[in-house]
Amino acid sequence: MTAVTFRDETATGTPVAAFEVGGLPSRMTVRALIRLRVREEVARYNARPSTRFNGLVRPDDAETELNGYRMRDRRPIDWERQAEIAERAFLGNGFFVLAGDRQVEDLDEEIDLTGDPDLVFVKLVPLVGG
């Protein structure tokens, strides 16, 4: 079993947040890794709901803030709904994923997790008026 570090960075490479998940198989698809990441961050939020959610994608009825989302109320989040939103965001270039030193482009691509790699997630923000 291996571990992976999920790391968020800005487009300029500035670290924003990171967490590690262990006990994983040696290979997983990008889709499975995105779903795992979303499930883990939603589980952490649901264990201690607050008015702020720091996650990969915006929950329904939340407002975007710098490096997170403001929740209108402290309610549980459905991780499966969030995972579906994340998959669509990946396919629509809402964020990209770096595995090691390369960008992964296909949800069904398998990533070798031996060596406890970092997966870097970079959210892309649309330009106003662009």
Short-list 84, 101, 97, CA closest to 123: 97
What's the rounded Cα separation, in Å, for the pair 37 and 32?
9
Give the per-residue pLDDT at 115: 80
Give the per-residue pLDDT at 42: 95
What are the residues whose beta carbons fall under 8 Å from the beta carbon of 12, sequence distance 6 or more? Answer: none
Q: Residue holding tokens 């997790």?
A: 113
Give the per-residue pLDDT at 11: 87
Give the per-residue pLDDT at 26: 95
Decide if 6 is inside a domain.
yes
State the CB neighbour count (10 A cutoff) for residue 32: 16
Give the per-residue pLDDT at 3: 92
Decide if 79 is inside a domain.
yes
Decide if 130 is inside a domain.
no
What are the pLDDT tens digits along the chain (130 aa)?
899 999 999 888 899 999 999 999 999 999 999 999 999 999 999 999 999 998 898 898 888 887 788 898 888 999 999 999 999 999 999 999 999 889 999 999 999 999 868 999 998 876 555 5
What are the residues whose beta carbons fall under 8 Å from the beta carbon of 65, sequence distance 6 or more? Answer: 52
3-state SS assignment for residue 80: helix
Number of domains observed in the structure of the chain: 1
Give the per-residue pLDDT at 54: 87
What's the rounded Cα separation, in Å, for the pair 107 and 22?
21
Give the per-residue pLDDT at 40: 96
Range of the domain at 39: 2-123
Decide if 29 is inside a domain.
yes
Decide if 100 is inside a domain.
yes
Give the per-residue pLDDT at 107: 98
Decide if 111 is inside a domain.
yes
Give the per-residue pLDDT at 126: 62
Decide if 129 is inside a domain.
no
Decide if 11 is inside a domain.
yes
